[in-house]
DNA sequence: ATATAATAAGAGTATATACACCTATTGTTG
DNA sequence: CAACAATAGGTGTATATACTCTTATTATAT
């Protein structure tokens, strides 16, 4: 394939400047680091976040959890499966509205979360130290702004 | 499950402050927006990035492509499949080193990329306008820094 | 030159992601 | 109350992601 400088140049921006690509790329990279840290627990990054979110909700439904995670409802359903299978989460039909499913942490779920928490703290501190607190705070704020922009679209 | 304020508080940070979770969450959100924009082409966000990266490489091997995308080699192999099946990419055994596979864009691949480029430009501009050029530039720089930190770990 | 080490890449398995379509339950309206 | 609309959630399918193990080829050491 012959390629002129001109032809190639128009694809530098979609590579280096693409917000989507660079966010996905960074997410892949950081996920590696966090999953390595969480490996002693056997939890994946998403699974840790799901347990934390469930813990914070107390009693959560699929829709509410999905909304708070900015995750498709059907994705969440699938992601809950391995955690249910391992006995970390329990889902029961809604007591008032039987269409709903109530998701709660089990004792085993609380235990694994307690084990995971210090490992998370360690890797989070490692990242914070390497990037600097200022940059981490700025990054988190910019990420929040990005999500708000998208949800407003 | 009884939950004291004290117990719950320790999980606010792993939710709101976790670099990994928030990067993944933002990646999910922004992917939705870009994939909606690219829908007329049938390309997913990753597929668009793969075509762009291949275009920039001219001739790429699996390892080199994977490295530049910060993507696991085996992930890349899987991601190439749908693009090969649709005839957008071709992979051939390396001419000098037969262990390698050379990945190149086909004519059909160049065509779909030409169709996708203006759609990408539009959504990228939309995001840039909404976030502001300053914040986009800052975000991209911070994301790069994040990746560098991880690769240095 | 051959045995061995190193490198490039694929396959098996498991999780993550979301769209389109479907079912069950609840709410609403005549 | 019965018909219909709205809502909560699951399934089928396809892609995305990466770890472990395996094969094929190349490089190296004796």
CA dist A20 and A22 (Å) reads: 6
Q: Residue ranges per domain, chain A?
A: 5-151
The integer distance in angstroms from the CA atom of A99 to the C1' atom of D1 is 22
Strand C nucleotides with an atom less than 7 Å from a protein beta carbon: 7-20, 24-27
Question: Which residues of chain B are within 8 Å of residue A91 when distances are taken between CB atoms?
Answer: none
* Domain B11-151 of CATH type 1.10.10.10: yes
The residues facing A60 across adjacent strands are: A103
Helix, strand, coil abundance in chain A, percent, nearest 5: 75, 10, 20
Please state the length of chain A. Answer: 153
- Each of the 153 residues of chain A gets a pLDDT tens digit; together they read 555 666 778 889 999 999 999 999 999 999 999 999 999 999 999 999 999 999 999 999 999 999 999 999 999 999 999 999 999 999 999 999 999 999 999 999 999 999 999 999 999 999 999 999 999 999 999 999 999 998 888
Instruction: Give the closest residue to A103 by CA, choosing from A66, A144, A140.
Output: A66
Cβ of A63 less than 7 A from strand C:
no
Fold of A5-151: Arc Repressor Mutant, subunit A (1.10.10)
- Angle, vertex CA B26, rays to CA B25 and CA B32, nearest 5: 100
Contact A79, A50 (CB under 8 A): yes
């Amino acid at each position: 394939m012959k390629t002129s400088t001109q032809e190639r140049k128009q694809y530098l921006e979609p590579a280096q400047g693409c917000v989507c690509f660079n966010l996905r790329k960074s997410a892949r990279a950081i996920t590696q680091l966090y999953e390595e840290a969480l490996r002693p627990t056997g939890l994946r990054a998403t699974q840790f976040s799901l347990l934390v979110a469930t813990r914070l909700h107390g009693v959560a439904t699929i829709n509410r959890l999905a909304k708070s995670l900015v995750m498709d409802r059907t994705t969440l359903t699938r992601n809950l499966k391995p955690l249910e299978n391992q006995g970390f989460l329990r889902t029961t039909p809604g007591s008032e509205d039987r269409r709903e499913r109530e998701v709660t942490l089990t004792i085993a779920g609380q235990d694994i979360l307690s084990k995971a928490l210090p490992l998370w703290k360690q890797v989070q501190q490692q990242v914070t130290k390497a990037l600097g607190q200022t940059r981490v705070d700025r990054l988190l704020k910019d990420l929040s702004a990005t999500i708000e922009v998208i949800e407003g679209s």
